[in-house]
Structure 1
Amino acid sequence: MDARLADRLAELRVERGWPLEELAHRSGISRSTLSRLERGEISPTAALLGKLCEVYGRTMSRLLAEVEEEPPQVVTAGAQPVWRDEESGFVRRSLSPPHPGLRGEVVEATLRPGADISYDAPPVPGLEQHIWALEGAVEITANGRTHLLEAGDCLRFRLWGASRFRCPGPVQARYAIFVVLP
Structure 2
Amino acid sequence: MMIDPETIDSLLGTRIRVEREQRGWSLSELSQRSGVSRAQINKVERGESSPTASLLGRLSGAFGLTVSALLARAEAARPGRLVRAGEHPRWQDPATGYVRNQIAPGPGSDFPLDLVRVDMPVGASVSYPASAFAFIRQVVIVLDGELTFTEGDVAHDLYAGDSIELGAPTDCTFRNKGGKACSYLVAVVRP
Alignment TM-score, normalising by the size of structure 1:
0.92
The answer to whether the Cα contact below 8 Å between 2:50 and 2:94 also exists between their aligned partners in 1 is: no
Amino acid of the structure 1 residue aligned with 2:12: L
Q: 2:162 is aligned with what amino acid?
A: D
- For the pair 1:86 / 2:109, whether they are aligned, the reply is no
| Residues 119 and 35 of structure 1: CA distance in aligned 2, closer, same or farther (over 3 Å) | same
Residue 86 (structure 1) shift? 2.8
Counterpart in the other structure of 2:4: none
Match 1:150 to one of 149, 153, 159: 159
CA shift for structure 1 position 124: 4.4
Moved more, 35-44 or 15-24: 15-24
Range 172-181 or range 14-23, more displaced: 14-23
Alpha-carbon distance in 1 for matches of 2:175, 2:133: 21
- In structure 1, the residue corresponding to 2:61 is in which secondary structure? helix
Q: State how far apart, in whole Å, the 1-side matches of 2:129 and 2:110 are.
A: 29
TM-score (norm 2): 0.88
Higher mean alpha-carbon deviation, 110-119 vs 68-77, is at: 68-77
2:104–2:116 Cα contact (<8 Å) kept: yes
Q: Which residue, 26, 30, 35 being the options, matches 2:42?
A: 35
SS at 1:79's partner residue? coil
Offset at residue 70 of structure 1 (A): 4.0
Q: Report deviation, 1:116.
A: 1.2
- What per-residue deviation string (whole Å, max 9, x for no partner) do you get for residues 94-120 of structure 1? 011366452111000011111111112
The more displaced of 149-158 and 33-42 is: 149-158
Q: Which amino acid aligns with 1:39?
A: R
Tell me how far apart the structure 1 counterparts of residues 115 and 141 of structure 2 sit (CA, whole Å). Answer: 11
The equivalences for 1:140-179 within 5 A come to: 140-179=149-188
Q: Deviations over 1:11-55 (max 9, x none)?
A: 111122222122222222121111111111111000110100111
Bigger mean CA deviation after superposition, 91-100 or 24-33: 91-100
Tell me whether 1:135 sits opposite 2:144 in the alignment.
yes
SS of 1:92's equivalent in the other structure is strand
Please, which moves more after superposition, 45-54 or 127-136? 127-136
Letter in 2 for 1:48: L
Matched, 1:117 2:154: no
Question: Secondary structure in 2 aligned to 1:14?
Answer: helix
Within 1, Cα distance between the matches of 2:135 and 2:33? 20
Higher strand share: 1
SS of equivalent residue, structure 1 residue 123: helix
Name stretches of at least 5 consecutive residues in structure 2 with no aligned partner. 1-7
Q: CA deviation at 1:159?
A: 4.3
Of 103, 115, 128 in structure 2, the residue corresponding to residue 95 of structure 1 is 103
1:124 and 1:118 mapped to 2: Cα distance? 12
Instruction: List gaps (5 residues or longer) in structure 1.
Output: none
1:38 aligned partner, one-letter code: E
Identity %: 37
Q: SS at the partner of 1:134?
A: strand
| Kept after mapping to 1: 8 A contact 2:127/2:173 | yes
